[in-house]
């Protein structure tokens, strides 16, 4: 028994194994309740490991970064598919108007030009010059360019996946 404690820095193999299992589960996104159920570690012990054990917390950060990097391509592809789906909903003439509106709001919000920024835009009647200036300011806004580019990419993806 003493040899096993020495090999693991004075901890029993059982504790080291539970700690490693907790690290792996947390890195993969398990909740603290799931980790305590799977390892038999008390929630206070898990809290202490996460908040007071520098080795544990730094190893957890390292494992989470590795996990994220391993799935980055999948996440990137999922974001593209999600955007394409939302744009398709906006353009779908068979979609209920409420769904189209919600999809449009989602796109505008993510582009930073949604309802949250509406209070910054004064509502005034426009003459022809004012209308041209408004259109020019919208087209010159980098957020609009990003939105248009994202929509073009989504349309291209949808078109390329069509039979």
Express each pLDDT in 40-82 by its tens digit. 999 999 999 999 999 999 999 999 888 888 887 777 778 778 8
pTM: 0.43
Q: What is the rounded distance in angstroms from the CA atom of residue 14 to the CA atom of residue 39? A: 10
pLDDT of residue 112: 72
* Cβ atoms of residues 21 and 38 within 8 Å: yes
Domain range summary for the chain, segments of one domain joined by +: 2-52, 72-161
Q: Which residue did the predictor score with more confidence, 107 or 122?
A: 107
Please provide the average confidence, as pLDDT, over all residues in the chain. 76
- pLDDT tens sequence across 5-25: 433 444 554 888 899 999 999
pLDDT of residue 8: 42
Is the pLDDT at 27 greater than 80? The verdict is yes
């Amino acid at each position: 028994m003493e040899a096993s404690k020495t090999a693991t820095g004075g901890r029993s193999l059982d504790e080291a194994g539970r700690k490693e299992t907790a690290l792996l589960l947390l890195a993969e996104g398990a909740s603290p309740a799931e980790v305590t159920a799977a390892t038999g570690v008390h929630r206070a012990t898990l809290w202490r490991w996460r908040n007071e054990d520098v080795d544990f917390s730094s190893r957890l950060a390292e494992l989470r970064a590795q996990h994220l990097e391993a799935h980055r391509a999948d996440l990137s592809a999922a974001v593209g598919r999600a955007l394409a789906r939302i744009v398709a909903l906006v353009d779908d003439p068979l979609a209920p108007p409420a769904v189209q509106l919600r999809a449009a709001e989602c796109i505008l919000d993510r582009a930073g030009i949604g309802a949250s920024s509406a209070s910054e835009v004064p509502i005034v009647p426009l003459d022809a010059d004012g209308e041209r200036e408004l259109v020019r300011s919208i087209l010159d806004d980098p957020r609009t360019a990003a939105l248009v580019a994202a929509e073009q990419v989504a349309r291209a993806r949808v078109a390329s996946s069509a039979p």
